[in-house]
Amino acid sequence: MNVSPTTWLKRASWALPVVLAVASTAHAAPGQLPEEVFDGLVETSPHKNYLSQSQQNRMMMPDNPAWYVVEDGEKLFNEPRGPKNVPMSKCDFGKGPGVLDGAYVELPRYFADTGKVMDLDSRLEHCMKTLQGYTDADPAVKQKNGSNSDVMKLQAYIASKSGGYAWNPPMEHPLEKAMRNAGEVMFYRRSSVMDFACATCHSQPDKRIRASYLPSITVPEEWTKAISWPAYRVGHDNVRSSQHRLTGCFWQMRYPHAKNGSDATIALLSFWTDAARGQPAILPDMKR
């Protein structure tokens, strides 16, 4: 069971984080609201600086504007679309056509029909093209970013059906393992003009950039928050995806531009999702 976009309003609470003691464990709890998952993580995490640094964002979680994007996505998901007039509910996101509950926390995964390890973004694009008949030139496929893009709306909806589920990317297929391991190498290898790696900022707890605490991949309770995309970025006033976050990290490290959906990005996603294994996903999240 999962929280429908309309339930969130009814269950929304205005309590401040300081007086909150709702969830007592960070164990996976499918159907928990994002703020409930988050409060549980704050309680169980051995490191709290990153998680609890923004009372402001915590206060805004119950009425996260991302919920409206989720709702738009639900409509798009169920209506027949594209030149072939097929609904996205015919697409297999790993657990069978139309099965979304817990599907996103098991991505990236190997798909036999393409012979590739795919993340949500690439799988969605694949289905928009093969099932619905869109091409690369269609705005529905081309426009990847922003709360108004179809891709972002669909991703927000699909991911919201994994809220509270524990990250559990499969590692049975050799390619799934290979991608994860490639991602690990990329995460730790310093490159480019600044000699930076992802690990430079994200491998020790309580590191900061100016006033902001950064999440460490060594602390799964905070790492799940770091990778819980789609999330509403307050500063951007838009919902953003994992791929958008990766592009941002590449830019900040002064790496060459990361091509959306490339194997490099999916490898990193495989590694970072594996690092949050067992921790509940906060979907949709709200970030600074």
Partner 1 sequence: MADSIKIRATLKGDVCTVKALIKHPMETGQRKDKKTGQLIPAHFIQEVTCSHNGKNVLDASWGAAISANPYLSIEFSGAKKDDKVELSWVDNTGKKDAAEAAIG
Partner 2 sequence: MNSKRRTLLKGTLAGSAIAVAASAGLLNPRQVLAAWPKASFQTQDFAESLKGLFNTDKTTASNDIELKAPDIAENGAVVPVTINSSLKDVEAITILIEGNPTPLAAVFNLGPSAISSVSTRVKVGKTSNIAAVVKAGGALYISRKEVKVTVGGCGG
Peptide bond before 80: cis, by omega within 30 degrees of 0?
Answer: no
Applying CB under 8 A, the span of 8-16, 50-58, 101-109, 128-136 interacting with partner 1 comes to 8-16
Nearer to partner 1, 10 or 257 (CB): 10
Closer residue to partner 2 (CB): 151 or 214 = 214
Cβ atoms of 280 and 166 within 8 Å: the answer is yes
Which candidate, 219, 277, 27, 246, places its Cα nearest to that of 119? 246
Strands 231-233 and 238-240, bridge-based pairing = antiparallel
65 binds partner 1 per the rule CB under 8 A: yes
Residues near partner 2 (CB under 8 A) are 14, 16, 53-56, 59-60, 63, 201, 208-212, 214, 226, 231, 233-235, 240, 245, 248, 252, 287-288
List of E strands, the chain: 109-111, 116-118, 208-209, 212-213, 231-233, 238-240, 285-287
Q: Is 237 in the site for partner 1 (CB under 8 A)?
A: yes
From candidates 10, 113, 137, 257, binder to partner 1 by CB under 8 A: 10
**Quick one: which segment of 6-14, 86-94, 107-115, 158-166 binds partner 1 (CB under 8 A)?**
6-14
Given candidates 15, 47, 63, 170, which one binds partner 1 under the rule CB under 8 A?
Answer: 63
65 binds, among partner 2, partner 1, none (CB under 5 to 8 A by kind): partner 1
Cα angle at 160 between 244 and 156, to 5 degrees?
A: 35
Q: Which is nearer to partner 1, 10 or 210 (CB)?
A: 10
Q: Burial code of 14-29, b = ≥16 C-beta within 10 A, e = fewer?
A: eeebeebeebeebebb
Closest residue by Cα to residue 224 from 44, 66, 60, 22: 44
Nearest residue to 200 via CA among 254, 267, 119: 254
Query: Between 104 and 133, how does the x/- string for binding to partner 1 read (CB under 8 A)?
Result: ------------------------------
Alpha-carbon distance of 120 to 69, in angstroms, equals: 16
Candidates 4-12, 106-114, 132-140, 215-223: pick the segment binding partner 1 (CB under 8 A): 4-12
Catalytic residues: 249
* Residues of the shown chain interacting with partner 1 in the complex, contacts defined by CB under 8 A: 6, 9-10, 12, 63, 65, 68, 237
